[in-house]
Chains A and B, each alone.
Chain A
Amino acid sequence: DAMVIQNPRYQVTQFGKPVTLSCSQTLNHNVMYWYQQKSSQAPKLLFHYYDKDFNNEADTPDNFQSRRPNTSFCFLDIRSPGLGDAAMYLCATSRGGGQTDTQYFGPGTRLTVL
């Protein structure tokens, strides 16, 4: 089945220790998104890629970086995690094409910062 996969599902890191979250997709979608979601809050878009074109949201901290080495994979790097970065990180994909299209989400990675 075509899907969006995120690894790991649960990640524990220490304050200030860099961490990388990964996302892969078999949908062959052009667009990949990274969201941060805290409990009982709306998902917050951090950045997205349209193919290789990177789009950073204005209020995304510099502490968050992303890489998309190919169509299938996208990574979220948190350079120096703080306690406030503990959240669920959601990867999503969409077909793209300049029109509204549905975003499909992976299962998420829950990040704990000690």
Chain B
Amino acid sequence: GQNIDQPTEMTATEGAIVQINCTYQTSGFNGLFWYQQHAGEAPTFLSYNVLDGLEEKGRFSSFLSRSKGYSYLLLKELQMKDSASYLCAVSDSNYQLIWGAGTKLIIKP
């Protein structure tokens, strides 16, 4: 079957750096997305990786290793507003998105 694994919850301190990992096993691979979802709101797009390596976008970076079935989202200079769930999703061979359950990130002052 198809599977996306992420930690359920993580805690970090304001101003620090946090890395949220995602491992996947899917039938085919056509890219990996990270979305941010604040409580009670819809997911918003953060990043898309289809080639190996690191993509940097401001305070957020996303890394992909296709051979390892692994990605991470790196958040720098954490702010209180970064408290949210972060969802990893993989586009499979049929271009269907397979979603992880999300990682709830708690930021403490």
Check B33 against A45 for contact (C-beta < 8 Å): no
B42 touches A108 (CB 8 A): yes
Annotate A89-114 by CB proximity to B: 1 below 8 A, 0 otherwise.
01000000011101111111010000
Look across to chain B and name the residue whose beta carbon is closest to the beta carbon of A97: B95
Whether B95 pairs with A99 at a CB distance below 8 angstroms is: yes
Interface size class of A (residues with CB under 8 A): 10 to 19
How many angstroms from the CA of A106 to the CA of B44 in the assembled complex? 9
Q: How far is the CA of A43 from the CA of B35 in the complex (A)?
A: 12
Known: A41-B101, A100-B30, A100-B31. A90 touches B42 (CB 8 A): yes
Any chain B CB within 8 A of the CB of A42?
A: yes
Contact B45 A102 (CB under 8 A): yes
Residues of A within 8 A of B4 (CB): 42
Contacts of A70 in B (CB 8 A): none
Q: Which B positions have Cβ atoms within 8 angstroms of A? A: 4, 8, 30-31, 33, 40-45, 48, 50, 85, 87, 91, 95-97, 99-102, 104
A interface residue numbers (CB < 8 A to B): 40-45, 88, 90, 98-100, 102-108, 110
